[in-house]
Amino acid sequence: MRPLSLITASPAETEDLGRRLGSILKKGIFIALKGELGGGKTCFTRGIVAGSAPESSYLVASPTFAIMNEYPGTPPLYHFDFYRLACGHEIAELGFEDYFNGHGICIAEWADRLGELLPEDRLEITFTIAGEERRTISFEASGPDSLTLIERLVQGIPTE
Ligand SMILES: Nc1ncnc2c1ncn2[C@@H]1O[C@H](COP(=O)(O)OP(=O)(O)OP(=O)(O)O)[C@@H](O)[C@H]1O
Ligand SMILES: [Mg+2]
């Protein structure tokens, strides 16, 4: 399947797209957020939390210093930012592996740092800066669960 590529023209549009995804998430999903600094990963995550666990969405900030923030919900959401971590080995030492393939939803910024620890079935979302306010957001599935998620997301997107 070719990657699904969408363009947003404001932070609000990116957050809204995240909200659509957040509202259809199921437990065990792993979302790998990739792409350049300031691409919109945290902005998109704020939308995901708003769609999935609305009562805690106002809390969303980059977990760069905490590495992981947890948002209570059913299922719970775990938002990681691996920017400061060098490799999967360091991440394994911190015990984060236990969250992956678990009962929550994992959203990871700079997920490429995970290397071999990356779950096989994951939804990869890549953010590219296409202008001052424009972002290209590409979705790619690497297994059956993430593929189903993209299909459901596409169904919910208005064509006009
Ligand atoms: N279409 C857009 N979507 C998302 N953010 C946008 C958009 N246009 C402008 N922005 C701005 O880009 C910035 C995105 O920042 P954000 O923290 O979400 O990026 P990030 O990918 O998490 O960066 P980092 O890699 O540093 O964690 C915000 O300041 C936001 O206002
Ligand atoms: Mg961020």
Other CB atoms within 10 A of residue 111 CB = 24
Q: Which residue has the higher pLDDT, 142 or 66?
A: 142
- pTM of the shown model: 0.91
Q: Which is it for strands 135-141 and 123-129: parallel, antiparallel or unpaired?
A: antiparallel
Token representation of residue 75: 């299922």
Q: Which ligand has its closest atom nearest to the C-alpha of 37? A: 1
Predicted local distance difference test score (pLDDT) of residue 98: 82
Ligand 1: which of 8, 34, 43 to mutate, judged by most atoms within 8 Å of the beta carbon? Answer: 43
Q: Which of 46, 18, 33, 42 is nearest to 110 (CA)?
A: 33
Tell me: the pLDDT tens digits for 71-88? 888 889 999 988 877 666
Instruction: Between 119 and 116, name the one with better pLDDT.
Output: 119
How would you classify residue 98: left for phi > 0, otherwise alpha for psi between -120 and 50, otherwise beta? alpha
Distance CA 41, CA 126 (A): 9
Indicate whether 113 pLDDT > 60.
yes
In Å, how far are 47, 138, 143, 150, 158 from 2, measured between CA atoms?
24, 10, 13, 11, 20
Can you tell me the mean pLDDT for 117-142? 96
Looking at every residue in the chain, the average pLDDT score rounds to 87
Interatomic CA distance for residues 114 and 88, integer angstroms = 4
CA 38 to ligand 1 center in whole angstroms:
4
Categorize the per-residue pLDDT at 58 as very low, low, confident or very high, splitting at 50, 70 and 90. low
Higher pLDDT, 57 or 123: 123
